[in-house]
């Protein structure tokens, strides 16, 4: 992988961390499309809690891991809700990135080069004739 | 009560139907792994990790839609299909859904197969079919790319929402009488609006990546190298 690719990855990750860590606090807390559809038939109060009627959402049961330390996008023990949401978002991005990166890295084809040259340079084309050569990768 | 994501909660669909969809999702994801490996090289693998992390982040950002009191958020299937292709893309969304269910208590663990079927499989598949079609007929400009991303993303959300309606028809825990069509209509209506948000986010993100690193946009690959062999070589040596 070339330096430019690492820069792109780092930049993308930074954007994701900012979105999950800061912007997430400004997200709408109203029920989403699925939940609101399942609430049809019920009446809800200002906090979107069911106060009457009958609807599919009433069948909802507790989550198996509802007492997980990060349940409902908060960090248990962190009182400040801004911090709690942001921290859980940052952890979520890092966990997802780690699992995705690790998993896809293990699954990847080895011994072949990308169909199109990295960064548009022709240097990697040599690896096609070299067979199993992996070029420009660190670890 | 805070509601955070468009994922099916426990108790909404009965156990047997949820189990059948879990098995179905497992088979489909295994196939995605087998096909996705052909795409996954040293360059795409880290990009796929980034796409998964980015989708996780943006899924936290519920945006209001025009209907009062209702929100929506990105599903990510179209974005993933544009950036890393349909097979790896479906796997990216599935990774996000698994992390959300196991770590964040979002979407029942027993419901994971249903959620994966709708958002990772149906959403990504619908998006990719549209992407393949639109990139062929639209002009090869930034506008064409933006329209492709927008339309594919918008419609993929509606398709995913109808996946839920089918699941509810098979195993919904509340008897809707003859009103399944009502649920289908409500879901479609609200998800068209959410889809517009999905389309705007997807088009913006894809255009940004295409500007900075066009070589990292999977959907643009065939344009750059029109001589790419149509038949994949099974041995791995080209």
CA distance B178 to chain A (A): 14
Q: What is the largest CA-CA distance in chain B?
A: 58
Q: Report B:169-198 residues touching A (Cβ under 8 A).
A: 172-174, 176, 182-183, 186-187, 190-191, 193-194
Q: What is the pLDDT of residues B15-67, one digit of tens each?
A: 999 999 999 999 999 999 999 999 999 999 999 999 999 999 999 999 999 87
Chain A positions touching B105 (Cβ under 8 A) are 63, 65-66, 68, 70-72
Residue A99 φ then ψ, to 5° = -65, -45
CA atoms lying within 13 Å on the CB side of residue B192? 6
Q: What angle do CA B186, A52, A32 make, to 5 degrees?
A: 35
Cα–Cα distance measured from residue B155 to residue B130, given in angstroms and rounded to the nearest whole number: 9
Instruction: Output the pLDDT for position B175.
Output: 84
- Cα-Cα-Cα-Cα torsion B212, B214, B217, B219, nearest 10 degrees, comes to 140
Q: Do B43 and A64 touch (CB under 8 A)?
A: no
Chain A positions touching B168 (Cβ under 8 A) are 56
- DSSP per residue, B129-151: HHHHHHHHHS-SSHHHHHHHHHH
Q: What is the pLDDT of residues A42-59, one digit of tens each?
A: 988 888 888 888 899 989
| Contact present, B190 and A36 (Cβ < 8 Å) | yes
Question: Which tokens is B106 given?
Answer: 């979002």
Give the residue from chain A lying closest to B190, CA to CA: A33
Strands B63-64 and B71-72: antiparallel
- pLDDT band of residue B179 (cuts 50, 70, 90) is confident
3-state secondary structure of A74: coil
CA distance A121 to chain B (A): 11
Cα–Cα distance measured from residue B153 to residue A104, given in angstroms and rounded to the nearest whole number: 24
Q: Do B70 and A30 touch (CB under 8 A)?
A: yes
Q: In whole angstroms, how far apart are CA B10 and each of B18, B40, B138, B155, B172?
A: 10, 34, 42, 27, 11
Residue B126 φ then ψ, to 5° = -60, -45
Instruction: Output the pLDDT for position A45.
Output: 85
Q: Report B:96-115 residues touching A (Cβ under 8 A).
A: 96, 99-106, 108-110
Give the residue from chain B lying closest to A88, CA to CA: B104
**Chain B contact for A56 (CB, 8 A cutoff):** yes
**Chain A contact for B4 (CB, 8 A cutoff):** yes
Interface test with B, best of A3, A16, A20, A34 (most B CBs within 10 A): A34
Q: Do A113 and B41 touch (CB under 8 A)?
A: yes
Number of H helices and E strands in chain B, helices first, is 9, 2
Cα–Cα distance measured from residue B41 to residue B22, given in angstroms and rounded to the nearest whole number: 29
Q: What is the pLDDT of residues A76-118, one digit of tens each?
A: 999 999 999 999 999 999 999 999 999 999 999 886 554 444 4
- DSSP per residue, B165-229: HHHHHHHBSS--TTTHHHHHHHHHHHHHHHHHHHHHHHHHHHHHHHHH-GGG-GGGHHHH-TT--
Which pTM does this prediction carry? 0.87
- pLDDT band of residue A132 (cuts 50, 70, 90) is very low
Q: Report B:51-80 residues touching A (Cβ under 8 A).
A: 51-58, 60-65, 67, 69-73
Q: What is the largest CA-CA distance in chain A?
A: 71
Task: Identify the H or E element spanning A96.
Answer: helix A81-107
The more confidently predicted of residues A119 and B82 is B82
- Say what the ipTM of the complex is: 0.89
Cα–Cα distance measured from residue B52 to residue A20, given in angstroms and rounded to the nearest whole number: 13
The 8-class DSSP code of residue B9 comes to P
Cα–Cα distance measured from residue A60 to residue B41, given in angstroms and rounded to the nearest whole number: 42
CA B13 to chain centre: 21
């Amino acid at each position: 992988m070339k330096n430019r690719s690492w820069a792109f990855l780092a930049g993308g990750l930074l954007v994701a961390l900012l979105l999950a860590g800061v912007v997430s606090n400004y997200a709408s807390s109203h029920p989403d499309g699925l939940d609101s559809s399942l609430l049809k038939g019920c009446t809800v109060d200002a906090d979107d809690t069911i106060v009457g009627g009958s609807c599919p959402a009433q069948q909802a049961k507790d989550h198996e891991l509802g007492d997980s330390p990060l349940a409902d996008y908060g960090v248990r023990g962190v009182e400040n809700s801004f911090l709690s949401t942001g921290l859980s978002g940052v952890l979520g991005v890092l966990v997802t990135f780690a699992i995705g990166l690790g998993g896809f890295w293990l699954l990847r084809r080895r011994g072949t080069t990308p169909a199109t040259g990295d960064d548009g340079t022709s240097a990697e084309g040599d690896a096609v004739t070299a067979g199993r050569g992996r070029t420009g990768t660190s670890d | 009560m805070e509601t955070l994501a468009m994922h099916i909660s426990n108790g909404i669909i009965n156990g047997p139907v949820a189990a059948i969809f879990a098995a179905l999702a497992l088979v489909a994801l295994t196939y995605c792994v087998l096909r996705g490996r052909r795409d996954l090289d040293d360059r795409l693998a880290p990009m796929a990790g980034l796409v998964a992390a980015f989708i996780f982040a943006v899924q936290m950002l519920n945006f209001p839609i025009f209907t009062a009191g209702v929100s929506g958020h990105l599903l990510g299937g179209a974005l993933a299909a544009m950036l890393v292709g349909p097979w790896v893309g479906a796997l990216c969304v599935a990774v996000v859904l698994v992390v959300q269910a196991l770590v964040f208590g979002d979407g029942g663990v027993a419901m994971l197969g249903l959620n994966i079927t709708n958002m990772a499989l149906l959403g990504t598949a619908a998006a990719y079919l549209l992407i393949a079609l639109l990139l062929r007929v639209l002009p090869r400009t930034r506008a064409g790319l933006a329209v492709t991303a927008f339309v594919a993303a918008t419609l993929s959300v509606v398709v995913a929402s109808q996946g839920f309606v089918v699941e509810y028809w098979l195993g919904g825990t509340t008897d809707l009488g003859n009103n399944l069509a009502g649920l289908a209509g409500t879901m479609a209506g609200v998800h068209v609006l959410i889809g517009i948000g999905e389309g705007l986010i997807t088009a913006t993100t894809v255009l940004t990546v295409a500007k900075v690193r066009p070589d990292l946009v999977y959907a643009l690959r065939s344009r750059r190298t029109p001589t790419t062999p149509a038949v994949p070589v099974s041995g791995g040596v080209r």
